[in-house]
Structures are given as C-alpha cells and as structure tokens.
Amino acid sequence: MDLNRYSPNNLKRPSKGLINIHPIQRGGILTEEARKILLEWADGYSVCDVCLEGRVDLLRNPPVDELKQDVAEFLGMDTARFTAGARHAKFAVMSAFQRGTLVLDSLAHYTSYTSAELNDMRVFEVPNSGYPDFRVDPEMYAETFERVREETGSYPDLALLTHVDYRYGNLADAERVGKICEEYEVLFVLNTAYSSGVMEVNGKKLRTAFIVASGHKSWAATAPIGILATNYELSDRVFRTSKMRGDWSGRAFTKKELAVFGCSPVFGLPVMTLMASFPGVVERVKHWNEEIEKARWFVREMEKIEGVQLIGERPKNHTLMHFESPAFHSIAKKHRKRGYFLYHELKKRGVFGVQAGMTKNFKVNIYGLSWEDLDKVVSAFKDIAENYGVEVED
C-alpha cells in the first residue's frame, strides 16, 4: 500500500490557479462566507453537537430548521428537506411511487433514469427536436401522457422535467409543462440542478409538486447536498416516517423519515456551507440577466472562430453551452497529442475545464466569470485557433 500518494503534498487540485469553465463547477464555487466557516464546521458530524430530536432538518442551533423553511419559501414551495445531492432527492420522490410510471424529457440527467430504475418505475421519454437545437416541446408532454395511458391504462404518476439540461444548457419551458401537468393531474417534478441557486425558480408559478435542486452544482455548497422541496399535501407521502417496530425489543423510530435514510446525511459541511452561502445565493439570482448577457456575448465571440457553432437553443438562456468545432477536430487528427491538444493548449493559457480528449464538441460553463476572465477565455480559444491556422473574424 503506497500511502505516500495520499499525503497533502500529493493532493493538489488539477485546476488550481486556472480559470475553471468545467460545466459542473461554476455554480458550486463557495462564497467567501462559506469559506469563512469551513474550518469551524469541518469535523465529521459537527452540526450534531446539540441535536435533541435526532433529525438534522429540525436543528435550531445551527439554524437548519429555519434554513429549510427559508429555502422552501425561496423556491415558492411549502417545505423542504436536504438530501445527499439532487440524485438522492429524485430517489426520495420516486421511492414514494415505486413500481409506478414516470414520464421524463429525453435530455434528463442519467440520475433521473437510474433513480426510476432503482424504484422499479416504468419510464417513458418525451422526445426532443434533435440536432442542432435539441428542444423539448412542452406539448409533447401531453402527447406522451396519452401514449402512457394507451400502453398502461392510466396517466403517469410523475412527470419530470429537466429545467436546464446538462448537455446543451437549454432552458425548458417549465411553466407550460406545469400547466399541462395540472390539466392532466400528473404530479410535476422539476429538476433544477442547473437553475435554482443561480436563477429565480418559483414553484407556485411553475405549478410544481416537487422541486429538486443541487447545492454543490448551483448553491455554492460543498458536496454532497441536494434539496427536495414540496407542498404540504405531498409532504407526508414523500417524507413518510418509519412504521417499523422491533419484534423483540419493541423499538420504534417514528420521527425518522425513510426516504432520506432517517436523518438525511448532510450533517456537517454540506448543510453549513449551503447555509453560509444562502444570503449570497438569494442576492445572486437577481443578477441572472447579466449572466445571460455574458453567455450571449461569449457565443458571438466563439462563433467568430471558423466552424465553431453553438449547439442547443438560440439565443442562449443559460451559461452552460455546447459547441461544435470541426476545425479543432481537424487539428487533433494531425496533432501528436491528438484530441488532448486543445486541453493542453487551453491549460497553457490559464483555462481549464474543457474535457481532455474533446475537440469535435465540447461544453463549457461561464457562470460567475468576470468580464475580464471571460475575455481571457475567449482570447485563449482564438489564439489557439490562429496558432493552428484556423481563421478568426475580427
């Protein structure tokens, strides 16, 4: 066993000191406030010092109970729980509909599918429009509901929409899907892993039954922490408590909520960093328009490079984006580093996060970058292009 490889000196982050445009990293960068409390709350179960009720969401010191209610209000919902990531939140919802039927958009994150599979749900996909914009037409939810009824005899139990998908960064029309779900009386699950926490999301307006969110993706928290918000009518069903009784001891655990493993495993830093970042998050969602402005400027600049083309909806409504770049791909074919050349050339220029090996297509996320850093990123791409003889418009 070579334990030396785990020495702190050998555990440097690959992106250290670089501008990180990795698609999943931007919304999870801690606020200064979260950084300030790191050392204080880093040990194991730190928040459980004065736990009296045996559930992290009921803690008053630190104020997790208050945070839970404030987060629910912020999302336009009645109540919420923290979970071990958005994936755990989706599992929790679906565990209350085991062996039922789920409709989801075909751009959904893999954890939407695997949560359904783990709960033996039957899954029906809502098509997307395919290349090049990959849009999900809300009306197709109605059509898919009808198809489900034909095949199973009844409408689905749940309809999940990925608010912003991880492949193209398209912003789906959640309001329209919400209205359709309401008409069909199908419970609407909105996965906001890339939206709430960076942009405003209001469940009342969108008619959601459940909102799933990701703290480490979009609420400036350490991993793992997700949010599952719901309404009072559904709360008892999804946050159902234990009914078991020990056959010899008579022990019972009537306060423990099954779907979050009794007491949700977010004690310690995940919930504390989400808490410390929360005031900053409440503020930052008001400035989403500036982020969109930057995203659209970024697309215009990137498309000045010969052959580079945005894939997904136009204009951009999110900071996560997907480009095609046949010119970089042609370079890769002849380059001694092959597809890795782009990764290395970017790194040389202080930019990190385009997946190593990718040149034909790549994804980036520019959320929260200053105009200055954004300009550095654009200049890096343009400079690489020019160095390899690819044309760049003025």
Cross-strand bridge partners of residue 310: 323
Cα 293 from Cα 207, distance rounded (Å)? 28
Q: Please, which residue, 181 or 276, has the CB nearer to its own copies? A: 276
The encoded tokens of residue 57 equal 């969401």
CB of 280 to its own copies, least distance (A): 9
Nearest approach, Cβ of residue 80 and its own copies (Å): 14
In the numeric block, the tokens 């250290």 are attached to 16
Tokens of 43: 């040990």
Residue 115 vs 231, nearer CB to its own copies: 115
CA nearest to 156, candidates 168, 171, 141, 178: 141
Least Å distance, CB 326 to its own copies, is: 23
Q: How far is the CB of 393 from its own copies (least distance, A)?
A: 32
The answer to whether residues 153 and 115 touch, using CB atoms and an 8 Å cutoff, is: no
* Min CB(341)–its own copies separation in Å: 16
Choice between 153 and 246, CB closer to its own copies:
246
Find the length of the chain. 394
User: CA-CA distance, 265 to 45, in Å (whole number)?
Assistant: 9
- Best CA proximity match to 188, nearest among 231, 230, 159, 148: 159
CA gap 121, 113 in Å, rounded: 9
Query: By C-beta, is 227 or 327 nearer to its own copies?
Result: 227
- Determine the Cα angle at 86 with ends 79 and 129, to 5°: 110
For its own copies, the closer CB: 10 or 289: 10
What tokens were used for 329?
A: 């791909």
Minimum distance from CB of 304 to its own copies (Å)? Answer: 28
**Beta bridge partner(s), residue 104:** 125, 160
For the bound state, the minimum distance from the C-beta of residue 391 to its own copies, rounded and expressed in Å, comes to 31
Closer of 216 and 382 to its own copies (Cβ): 216
Identify which of residues 11 and 334 has a Cβ nearer to its own copies in the complex: 11
